[in-house]
Structure 1
Amino acid sequence: MSKITKTAVVSVVGRPNVGKSTLTNKLVGQKVAIVSNKPQTTRTRITGVLSRGETQYVLLDTPGLHKPRSRLGDYMCKIVTDTVSEVDVAVLVVEPVAHIGPAEESLIAQIEQHHMPSILAINKIDTLPKEELLAVIALYAQAHTFEAIIPISARKGEGLDELLDEIDRFAIEGPQLFPEDMVSDQPERQLAAEIIREKMLRLLEREVPHGTAVGIERWNEREDGLIEISANIYCEKASHKGIIIGKQGAMLKEIGKQARADMERMLDTKVFLELWVKVKEGWRNNQYQMRNFGYEDS
Structure 2
Amino acid sequence: MKRFMKPAHFAIGLMAAVFLSGCAETTFLSSSIKHAGSDQPVAGKYKIGNPYQIQGVWYYPAEDFAYVETGIASWYGPKFHGKPTANGEVFDMNQVSAAHRTLPLPSLVRVTNLENGRSLVVRVNDRGPFAHGRILDMSRRGAQLLGFEKQGTARVKVEILKDQSFALKNTLVNQIAAKDSPIKSAGMAKPQVSAQSLSVPEGGKAAQSQMTMAQAPQPVARPEPVQTAMQEPSNTVRTYAVSPTRMYIQAGAFSKYENANRVKASLASVGDVEVSQVLVNGRDFFRVRVGPLQDVSQADQVLENVIQAGYPSAKIIVEKGKG
TM-score, normalising length: structure 2: 0.23
Looking at secondary structure, tell me which structure has more helix per residue. 1
Looking at secondary structure, tell me which structure has more strand per residue. 2
Of structures 1 and 2, the larger Rg is shown by 2
